[in-house]
Structure 1
Amino acid sequence: MFLLEPVGLGRLENDAYLALLDLKRATAEELAGNAGCSPAELRPALRRLLDHGLVQQIGFTPALYALVAPDEALPSLISRRRGDLAQMQMRIEELADRLRARPARGGTPVVELVEGEDAVLAAVSRLQLEAREEIIAVDAPPYIGGQSNPNDLELSRLADGVAYRFVYAREALASPEHIAAMRRCTEAGERARILPDVTLKMFVVDRTTALLPVSYTDQDPGVRLLVHESALVDVLVCCFESLWARATPFDSAGAECGPSAKDRELLALMASGMKDRTIARSLGVTERTVGRRLTELMAGLGAETRFQAGVQAARAGWL
């Protein structure tokens, strides 16, 4: 997980920004050397950082670049991304309203209402059995029964050659049992990623049929929309791919072995309230390395804050 990916920036922008945390001010050539690329490759990334208000340019011959503090620059970008997602939610609901009453070819409604928890569970099973190529899904609340439950049918469908890609919300990994269930699926072939704040619950089969809540603002776990091949399904697929790009890959091998001894020590020092600079001196690494590794560990734990990371690590038996 990289700091700037959730706000739509790439690895090169992320590396340049983090490099400036250590260098304070630097030329493009100095930053390129730190990021392991050429100045020509780095300059477009610097322009994007300037456009997003994350760095500022000082002078021209040569130009120096200085960091804008994260707590000053990032909140507006985060708010903008949240606004984009809110607009996407509204658009999905508008399309659902337009399509719900419109019949598809052959007289079959584009959107059907599925009511009742048993009916929803039966629809999920039926869709999986009908899948021929790929199932993509966002595993997020609301859950039938109040919590995420193992998908036993997935293992047999993976064995049949159906691909699965899942984006998991924090609530889907609320306990070691949930993490163990996800690990069984990833070991069987599921590709999994984690996005702690995701709320756009969906289940899409072969990019033609989808199951999703009636509303993303007033969700009922026992009511779903079954959407057949239409523009609405296309929108959902695009939405999923955007979330997939932002999410952090789940490393089943790393989860199986748990954190390294160095990671356990890092988490323990963080939980004790030590600052990154002090942790770096204790571990004999750079402050930038500490920040990066903590960000990765927080993503793996499904935590948005360091306090949450400490709680999740304790629950997982890492501390």
Structure 2
Amino acid sequence: MEKDFGLTTREAAAYRDIAEGRPVHPDLVARLTDLGLLGHVGSELVPLDPRVAAQRLLAAHRATLEQALREVSYLPALEALSQHYAPSQFYGGPASKLLQSKEAMNAEIGMALDETTRELLTAQPGQPEDRDPEVQREGIERARRLLERGVAVRSIYTAAALEHEPTVEYVDLILEGGAEVRVAHDLPPRMVLTGSTLFIDNVVVADEDPNAGWCVTDIAAVSFARTVYEAYWARAVPWETARAALRDAVTSTRQRYILRGLAKGGTQATIAAQLEVSEREVRRDLEDLRARLALPSTNALLYWWATAPDHGIP
């Protein structure tokens, strides 16, 4: 049976009483003697040096302590084997965590990018925004560093990016470094994939910071997201092809969005809501295009659209 070296308040007081020559209860004597704190000189009970008692106990348990320390030192090496274990399992560890701010998201993505040796896949379905020039420079440098390390960099943008000069400048520079960029009019929700880690917008917790998001490491979820990404990638148009087609386009990006929506059976009202513009602006876009093509009606415009060269432009 293992010994408990801790002393109660009564036992500590009993040791003090014996050291000062006062009698104590026999039950306490037995306990203190067992710990090596009391001894007999003839028939007299005397206190022994607690430092010597402590050293004797330490020596008795030293081998056990050294063995325990050796075994603890093996733990990092054992945990490191998870990189070989996880890919073969259906469950790969903690599934996800909520990152509650833009700063937290950026920091976590930065760490994932520092560690990845495989890929950076991004889908950017939102409308392009003007970014601070310094932030844009940092993004270009980060992409270049990844490409120099042999990391594959691929991005899918919405068609509006084709006419957004800051985005065009950014994409042209990373294309020079070896990245691949495609454009589509139909994109998956925003995502960032770095090897075995997925970052997505927060669609779980209500009333969070709009810039909050999730870091997902579950193997099944990340693999599924990559499959979804590859399906959208296969349907998207290479950036260079889309830019070249844009030079001869009759329609604008918004007009193409409206025509696709109408061709699928949508109404001008629902399309206006999707674009976050007024229904009057949607009508004006259609009227401008009809006037340019000298077409008498929206139905005639949709008939033209079905076989128009612009149909293939995102």
User: Given the two structures, how large is their TM-score scaled by the length of structure 2?
Assistant: 0.46
Larger Rg: 2
